[in-house]
A and B are shown apart, each in its own frame.
Chain A
Amino acid sequence: MNNFTYYQPQSVAQALPLLENRWGRVELLAGGTDLLDRLKEYVSTPERIVSLTAIEGPFREISAIPQAGQPPKVTIGAGVRLVDIAESKLLAPYPALTTAAAQIAGPQIRNMGTLGGSLCQRNRCWYFRDTHIQCLLKGGRKCYAHEGENQFHAIFTQGHPCVIVHPSTLAPPLIALGATAQIVSPRGNRELPLEKMFQAPSKPDQREHTLAPDEILLSVTVAPNLPPGTRLANASYEVKQKVTSDWPLVQAAVAFAIEPGSQRARNVRIVLGHVAPTPLLSPEAAQELEGKVVTEATAATAAAAAIQGARPLSQNGYKVPMLKAAVKRAILLAAGFKPDWE
Chain B
Amino acid sequence: MAEGWPKQRQVLGSKVPRLDGAAKATGRARYTYDINRPGMLHGVMVRCPHAHARIKAIDTTATRKTPGFRALTLIGASRDVVITAIDGNKLTCTPAGKKKAPDERISIEVGEGVTLIKNLKVVTLRDIQPGDRVTIEAEQWVIGRELFYAGDEVAAIAADTEEHARDAARALRIDYEVLEHVVSEDEVLKDRKKRTVPAPSNFTEAKGATQGDVEAGFREADAVVEATYGVPVISHQCLEAHGLVAEWTAEGGLTVWASTQATVSTAQQLAARFGLPAAKVNCITHYMGGGFGSKFGPDVQGFAAAELALRAGAPVKIMLDREGEIVAAGNRPSAIGTVKIAGKKDGTITAYAVDCYGTPGYTGGATVNLNLLPYVYSDAIANWKRSHAVVYVNAGAARAMRAPGHPQNCVLTEFAIDDLAARLNIDPVIIRRKNLPPNNPKAPPNSWAARRNTIYNEQIDIALQLSRWKEKWHPPGKGNAQGPLRHGIGMALHTWGGFAAAQPNECYVIIGRDGSIIARTSTQDLGTGQRTVTAVVVAEVLGQNPASIITEIGESRFGLSSGSGGSTTCPSQAPAALRAAQAARDDLFKKVAPKVQADPKDLAIEAGKVVDRKSGRSWTWKEFCARLGMEEARGRGEWSLGIANEPGNENISSGQVGGVQVAEVTVDVETGLVRVQHLVAVQDCGLVVNRLTCESQVAGGVIMGLNYALFEECIRDRATGRQLNADMEFYKLGGLGDMPKITVHLQDMPERGVIGVGEPPVISTAAAVGNAVFNALGVRVPFLPLTPWRVLQALAQGGKVS
Residues of A within 8 A of B (CB): 1-2, 42, 106, 124, 126-127, 130, 132-133, 144, 147-149, 151-152, 239, 241-247, 249, 315-318, 321-322, 324-326, 339-341
Contact = CB atoms under 8 A, between A and B. Distances in A.
Given A144-B717, A322-B671, A322-B792, A242 B738 contact: yes
B356 to A, nearest CB: 24
B788 interface: yes
A315 B788 CA distance: 12
Contacts of A126: 724-725, 730
Contacts of A318: 672, 788-789, 792-793
Nearest to A316: B789
B387 to A, nearest CB: 30
Contacts of A133: 720, 722
A125 to B, nearest CB: 9
B730 A152 contact: yes
A322 B484 CA distance: 12
A242 B717 contact: no
Contacts of B670: 321-322, 324-325, 341
B724 A322 contact: no
5 contacts: A147-B719, A242-B711, A243-B737, A340-B484, A341-B483
Contacts of A321: 670, 792, 796
Contacts of B787: 241
Nearest to B720: A133
A328 to B, nearest CB: 8
A149 B715 contact: yes
A108 to B, nearest CB: 12
Interface in B780-802: 787-789, 792-793, 796
Contacts of A341: 483-485, 668, 670-671
Contacts of A326: 671
Given A322-B671, A341-B483, 16 more contacts: A2-B167, A126-B725, A127-B717, A127-B724, A130-B724, A152-B730, A242-B732, A242-B735, A242-B738, A244-B735, A249-B788, A318-B788, A318-B789, A321-B792, A324-B670, A326-B671
Contact of A132 (B482, B484, B668, B722): B722
Contacts of A247: 729
Nearest to B675: A243
B170 A106 contact: no
B483 A340 contact: yes
Contacts of A42: 170
Contacts of A148: 717-719
Contacts of A317: 793
Nearest to A126: B724
Contacts of A243: 735, 737-738
B163 interface: yes
B673 interface: yes
A317 B672 CA distance: 12
B734 A151 contact: no
A246 B671 CA distance: 16
Interface string B718-752: 11101011000110101111100000000000000
A155 to B, nearest CB: 12
B719 A239 contact: no
Contacts of A106: 735
Contact of B789 (A132, A151, A339): A151
B486 to A, nearest CB: 11
A239 B725 CA distance: 20
A241 B730 contact: no
B49 interface: yes
A324 B669 CA distance: 12
Interface bracket on B: 35 or more
B672 A322 contact: yes
B457 to A, nearest CB: 37
Interface string B680-719: 0000000000000000000000000000001100010111
A149 B732 CA distance: 16
B722 A130 contact: yes
Interface of B: 49, 150, 163, 166-167, 170, 482-485, 668, 670-673, 710-711, 715, 717-720, 722, 724-725, 729-730, 732, 734-738, 787-789, 792-793, 796
A325 B671 contact: yes
Q: Does more than half of chain A's interface fall in helix, strand or loop, or is it mixed?
A: loop
The 4 nearest A-B residue pairs measured at CB: A340-B483, A243-B737, A325-B670, A318-B789
Nearest to A326: B671
B671 A144 contact: no
* A42, A246, A315, A317, most chain B CB atoms within 10 A: A246
B484 A239 contact: no
B788 A132 contact: no
A341 B671 CA distance: 10
A239 B724 contact: no
A255 to B, nearest CB: 22
Residue from the set A127, A315, A321, A326 with the largest chain B CB neighbour count within 10 Å? A321
Nearest to A240: B673
A2 B163 CA distance: 9
A161 B533 CA distance: 59
Given A42-B170, A148-B719, A1 B482 contact: no
Contacts of B730: 126, 152
B738 A322 contact: no
Contacts of B796: 321
Contacts of B673: 239, 241
A198 to B, nearest CB: 22
B672 A246 contact: no
B737 A132 contact: no
Nearest to B736: A244
A244 B737 contact: yes
A144 B736 CA distance: 34
A341 B484 CA distance: 6
Quick one: which of A124, A132, A339 has the most chain B CB within 10 A? Answer: A132
A126 B730 CA distance: 9
Contacts of A245: 735
B487 to A, nearest CB: 13
Contacts of A324: 670
Contacts of A127: 717, 720, 724
Nearest to B729: A124
B482 A340 contact: yes
Given A244-B737, A249-B788, A341-B668, A149 B724 contact: yes
Nearest to A329: B670
A325 B668 CA distance: 10
Nearest to A142: B719
A241 B788 contact: yes
Contacts of A325: 484, 668, 670-671
Contacts of B724: 126-127, 130, 149
Nearest to B718: A148
A144 B720 contact: yes
Contacts of B710: 241
B173 to A, nearest CB: 15
A339 B787 CA distance: 22
Nearest to B166: A1
A1 to B, nearest CB: 7
Contacts of B734: 242
A132 B482 CA distance: 47
A144 B717 CA distance: 9
B783 to A, nearest CB: 13
A1 B792 CA distance: 41
Contacts of A124: 729
Nearest to A237: B671
A318 B797 CA distance: 12
Nearest to B795: A321
A151 B724 CA distance: 12
Contacts of A340: 482-485
Given A239-B673, A242-B732, A341-B483, A144 B719 contact: yes
Nearest to B787: A241
Nearest to B785: A241
Residue among A124, A151, A245, A339 with the highest chain B CB neighbour number at 10 A: A245
A317 B710 CA distance: 19
A246 B732 contact: yes
